[in-house]
């Protein structure tokens, strides 16, 4: 199979080079195109006829397609029929289902992770932690999250029969739940803090600007003394370019250029401008971004920075300055293809030139970038995302211990038990988790035989193997012994050292259980350095004006 994969990739790469190489004329290019397609077709036909084992043709062609597209940028992808519904959900935020997020516990168990407020799962009484046993008579054990998610989805008004087991109970419960059209609001939280309006936007689906406008107008109506507005785009992967334009239009006057696109074909060259009068052109603004803010989120932050309309705070953004267009290619499948690059009003292309192994944009020295100027003459640069006006280090990075407690569901399972023993508080602000509760959590970990290994310990174990292989293990035995003793995690000590981070994570999960998504966001904001810095900046008129060169 690997040899077939190599053969397929070789021919496909040849085809790709043939298609992109400079041809002497159109006839030569068309001949090269036809020749390579014919070779491609012949290759599969011959393999299907003569290969010693039976070939899974569909899988083989999928492999060839993936290999071909992997030679291009990461965003040009093939969307088969079975994934088209997920793709539409990313665009619209809509799907037919019961309105719940699910997650895996271990290798063979799927549980409800978060029922959406007021949706079918929530109305039927399903809770986070409920173990899914059967869906319409089909067992869930051993299935993947994507498989079970597909089983839960369907047409609105259809009834789905769900059998589940609640932790702590002996018998399963069965519910007949009517699926609905689930619309996920991209604004998952908004509120006012110390006369500063705050809104968290999770994506740029086709309802992003309308929901942002509605929330902002509500906050302004209910709070006549607003001193500023924080738009939180951290973790926002982007979405529809039209929604990015519309959100900018809430704060910028009519006929202002927001973004321009330039492609290989002039049909993709376009300039996008605001088309309406803003709802609030004067309110001081801060936009929060991080390394996961991408695409449409960068259009908004880049335009608002270039127009000196908002102070950008946080980390350098991802650097996705490419425009994708979705093309139907038959059989309910699509090709999402990169057709252009986009440029901010100052002329910056914010596409990152290089990414590291984790997909983050590499820092480029200023000497290798170009200078551009904002409306008020501030210098900004291209070459890899939007650089904030006020940079903050990522304060949300987990230690190895907290990361393991969260990702391996120890905190999730503990909070499931916690919520069964405690009454719902009257508000998010009334959630408590004191030293006695933390001792209870430590006892829970002991009962589960919890242990963990530091990343540095894993690396050190590899180093010891290399030392042994190269014959240095005995020579450096004293050094190795000391490091071995010092690098071992001390669970009791580490739990105390990271106690504050652990409690914050537990409190956020408790808020999610009792008050849904908006509750967890509200709880998180209590520990958010980005929010604190944004409020400080908006309240300090001199700092705000100096940053944006307003006076």
Report, as residue numbers or ranges, the catalytic residues.
Answer: 295, 306, 320
Three-state DSSP state, 117:
coil
Phi and psi at residue 331, to the nearest 5°:
55, 40
Could you tell me if 341 and 302 are in contact, meaning their C-beta atoms sit under 8 angstroms apart?
no
Three-state DSSP state, 50:
helix
527, burial (CB in 10 Å: exposed 0-12, middle 13-18, buried 19+): middle
Q: Report the candidate in 226, 242, 235 with the shortest Cα–Cα distance to residue 300.
A: 242
CA distance 285 to 281: 10
- What is the bridge-based pairing of β-strands 228-232 and 285-289? parallel
Could you tell me if 378 and 345 are in contact, meaning their C-beta atoms sit under 8 angstroms apart?
no
Name the H helices within 51-141.
Answer: 57-70, 84-92, 120-123
Chain Cα centroid distance, residue 411: 21
CA distance 387 to 503: 32
Contacts with 166 (C-beta within 8 Å, 6 or more apart), sequence order: 127, 129, 130, 131, 173
Residues written for the chain: 551
What does DSSP assign to residue 182?
E
- The structure tokens listed for 55 are 């070939």
Measure the CA angle with vertex 353, ends 348 and 77; round to 5°: 100
Terminal alpha carbon distance of the chain: 67
- Cα-based torsion angle of the residue sequence 50, 52, 54, 56 in order, rounded to the nearest 10 degrees: -80
Q: Report the candidate in 332, 321, 392 with the shortest Cα–Cα distance to residue 361.
A: 321
Residue 481, number of CB atoms within 10 A of its CB? 10
What does DSSP assign to residue 308?
T
């Amino acid at each position: 199979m690997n040899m077939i994969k190599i053969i397929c990739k070789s021919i496909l790469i040849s085809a790709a080079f043939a298609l992109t190489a400079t041809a002497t004329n159109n006839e030569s290019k068309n001949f090269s195109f036809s020749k390579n397609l014919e070779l491609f077709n012949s290759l599969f036909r011959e393999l299907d006829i003569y290969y010693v084992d039976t070939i899974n043709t569909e899988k083989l062609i999928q492999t060839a397609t993936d290999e071909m597209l992997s030679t291009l940028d990461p965003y040009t992808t093939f969307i088969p029929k079975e994934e088209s519904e997920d793709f539409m959900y990313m665009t619209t935020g809509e799907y037919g289902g019961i309105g719940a997020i699910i997650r895996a516990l271990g290798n063979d168990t799927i549980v409800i992770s978060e029922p959406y407020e007021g949706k079918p799962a929530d109305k039927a009484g399903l809770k986070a932690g409920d173990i899914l046993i059967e869906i319409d008579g089909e067992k869930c054990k051993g299935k993947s999250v994507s498989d079970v998610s597909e089983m839960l989805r369907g047409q609105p008004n259809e009834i789905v029969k769900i059998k589940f087991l609640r932790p702590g109970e002996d018998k399963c419960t069965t519910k007949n739940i009517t699926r609905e059209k689930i619309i996920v609001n991209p604004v998952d939280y908004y509120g006012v803090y110390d006369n500063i309006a705050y809104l968290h936007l999770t994506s740029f689906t086709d309802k992003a600007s309308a929901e942002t406008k509605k929330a902002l107008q509500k906050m302004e109506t209910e709070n006549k003394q607003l001193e500023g507005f924080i738009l939180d785009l951290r973790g926002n992967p982007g979405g529809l370019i039209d929604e990015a334009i519309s959100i900018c239009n809430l704060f910028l006057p009519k006929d202002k250029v927001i973004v321009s696109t330039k492609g290989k074909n002039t049909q993709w060259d376009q300039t996008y401008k605001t088309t309406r009068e803003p709802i609030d052109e004067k309110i001081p603004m801060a936009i929060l971004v991080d390394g996961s803010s991408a695409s449409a989120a960068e259009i908004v932050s880049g335009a608002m920075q270039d127009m000196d309309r908002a102070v950008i705070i946080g980390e350098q953004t991802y650097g996705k300055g490419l425009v994708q267009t979705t093309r139907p290619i038959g059989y309910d499948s699509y090709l999402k293809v990169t057709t252009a690059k986009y440029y901010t009003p100052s002329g910056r292309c914010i596409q990152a030139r290089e990414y590291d192994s984790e997909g983050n944009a590499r820092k480029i020295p200023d000497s290798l970038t170009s200078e551009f100027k904002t409306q008020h003459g501030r210098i900004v640069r291209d070459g890899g995302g939007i650089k904030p006006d006020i940079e903050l280090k990522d304060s949300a990075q987990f230690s190895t211990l907290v990361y393991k407690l969260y990702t391996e569901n120890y905190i999730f399972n503990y909070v499931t038990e916690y919520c069964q023993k405690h009454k719902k508080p009257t508000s998010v602000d009334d959630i408590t988790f004191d030293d006695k509760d933390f001792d209870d959590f430590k006892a829970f970990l002991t009962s589960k035989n919890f242990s963990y290994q530091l990343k540095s310990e894993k690396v050190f174990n590899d180093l010891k193997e290399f030392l042994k292989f190269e014959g240095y293990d005995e020579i450096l035995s004293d050094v190795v012994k000391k490091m071995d003793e010092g690098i071992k995690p001390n669970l009791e000590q580490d739990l105390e050292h990271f106690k504050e981070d652990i409690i914050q994570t537990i409190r956020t999960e408790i808020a999610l259980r009792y008050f849904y998504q908006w509750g967890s966001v509200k709880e998180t904001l209590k520990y958010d350095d980005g929010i604190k810095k944004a409020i400080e900046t908006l309240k300090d008129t001199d700092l705000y004006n100096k940053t944006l060169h307003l006076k």
